[in-house]
Amino acid sequence: MLVVFLNPVHPVEMQDFALGLREVGATVLGVGDTPKSALPRKAKEALSAYLQVPRLLDEDDVVRRTLDGLGGRRPERVETCWEPLVIAAARIREAVGASGMSVDTVRGFRDKQLMKERVAAVGVPVPQSLRVRTADQARAAAAEIGYPLILKPIDGAGSASTYRCDDPDELERALSRMGHVVEASCETFIDGQEFTYDTICVDGEPRYENVSQYLPRPLIARSQEWLSPIIVTYRDLSDPRLKPGVTMGRRVLAALGMERGYTHMEWYRTGAGEVVFGEIGCRPGGARLVDQMNVGSSADLFVEWARAVVHGQVQVGPDKPYLTAIIFKRAQGRGRIREVRGLVDFLREHGAHVAFEELLRPGTPRRDWTQALLSDGFLLLRHPDEDTLLALANKAAQDIQLFAS
């Protein structure tokens, strides 16, 4: 089976998805902006053919060049696991008649206003929201929605250009920083805890499910440099704290017409226990969430994704041996990492529960924590018991410190 896979190189997980496709027997044509001579080993191994495009985010250009590159061959699937290319993949799919979701269906996973309208239509609770294109429209929307509110790009990612506004002054401040945003969503601020609902679907049916929790909520994690954000993946999705989110997630997938592949939904639980839809993408969560789910489920969900899209099968059961926690660290100071303190002791005491440790080493330049949740590296912990796991995660967050200068 010929599969076109858009962007087989960056972020680094994409190489594993490409390898997964090959492992389940697909012939993979990769499309990316990396020069052929600079393809990493994994990508080379995975791809039967490669098409380099000059600008991966120029959708028209990527679609046109891919169709030219196919030269009349008809792939059975056109896939991507990277949010900015989901529409391009759907356009290519439609042009060659490959199976999978249409452009219109994929827009329901990409446009934050449209997705809320489509899921609200089946009775799923969503924040009240309005699409705005100008500062005046945002002011009018704020007057209608009231405070506190959230103003964010209609197709944003990673909480970029996302603002909580508690009054008209804060709205003006947010507007002054959003000049580059063409279209935004103005919506009721939902106070509560924030979770994900992730799946691998086959023909709309979730065949693998995961629930994670963000500690703290992503918007706070992105605005406070000193804290170490943690994401926990749970074991038991029938837990009464989580089950309403899973039930809601299944309704959302049906409402949006999900077909095959990954989904990554975010939802809120208010103090009163109400669940509210946040957003959804038809791609996996970033920030190494697939690694987290792999560790929690003792599975290879790169390969299982490929098996789902290529063969319509997923070979992993619902039982999860572990909860997992990923802890992202930010160094104190600027420049290059100078010292990693507390790691040796932590590993000596708790190394048995550490699945991955990828903190930046001394000498490495700091990453921009506002641009990537990965920040200056992470630890991924696993444990079967929730209280123990949370205690370990908090200990790692507190005791391990990075310094830069």
Ligand X SMILES: Nc1ncnc2c1ncn2[C@@H]1O[C@H](COP(=O)(O)OP(=O)(O)O)[C@@H](O)[C@H]1O
Which residue ranges make up the site for ligand X (CB under 6 A)?
127, 150, 152, 156-159, 162, 187-190, 194, 217-219, 266, 278-279
The answer to whether 67 and 78 are in contact (CB under 8 A) is no
Nearer to ligand X, 103 or 219 (CB): 219
Distance set, CA 333 to CA 139, 231, 377, 402 (Å) = 38, 24, 15, 9
CB of residue 287 vs ligand X: minimum separation in angstroms? 11
- Binding to Mg ion (CB under 5 A) within 255-274 occurs at 266
Size of site (CB under 5 A) for Mg ion? 1
- Binding to Mg ion (CB under 5 A) within 182-221 occurs at none
Nearer to ligand X, 189 or 322 (CB): 189
Q: Is 277 left (phi over 0), alpha (psi -120 to 50) or beta?
A: beta
Residue 150 binding partner per list Mg ion, ligand X, none, with a CB distance cut-off of 5 to 8 Å that depends on partner kind: ligand X
Nearer to ligand X, 278 or 296 (CB): 278
Nearer to Mg ion, 193 or 394 (CB): 193
Residue 47 binding partner per list Mg ion, ligand X, none, with a CB distance cut-off of 5 to 8 Å that depends on partner kind: none
CB of residue 49 vs ligand X: minimum separation in angstroms? 32
Phi, psi of 234 (to 5 degrees): -90, 165
Residue 158 binding partner per list Mg ion, ligand X, none, with a CB distance cut-off of 5 to 8 Å that depends on partner kind: ligand X
* Cα gap 137→145, rounded to integer Å: 12
* Cα gap 151→385, rounded to integer Å: 38
CB of residue 399 vs ligand X: minimum separation in angstroms? 27
Pick from 334, 327, 341, 337: nearest CA to 362: 337
Nearer to ligand X, 52 or 188 (CB): 188
CB of residue 214 vs ligand X: minimum separation in angstroms? 7
Residue at 286: amino acid letter: G
Nearer to ligand X, 46 or 181 (CB): 181
Nearer to Mg ion, 188 or 388 (CB): 188
CB of residue 274 vs Mg ion: minimum separation in angstroms? 19
104: CB partners within 8 A, 6+ apart: none
Distance set, CA 174 to CA 139, 160, 248, 369, 371 (Å) = 11, 12, 31, 20, 18
Give the CB-nearest residue to Mg ion.
266
Residue 53 binding partner per list Mg ion, ligand X, none, with a CB distance cut-off of 5 to 8 Å that depends on partner kind: none
Handedness of CA 254, 255, 259, 261 (dihedral sign): negative
Pick from 115, 118, 101, 124: nearest CA to 152: 115
CB of residue 279 vs Mg ion: minimum separation in angstroms? 5
- Give the pairing of strands 27-32 and 2-6: parallel
Residue 157 binding partner per list ligand X, Mg ion, none, with a CB distance cut-off of 5 to 8 Å that depends on partner kind: ligand X
CB of residue 114 vs Mg ion: minimum separation in angstroms? 16
* Cα gap 353→374, rounded to integer Å: 20
Interface with Mg ion by CB under 5 A: which residues?
266
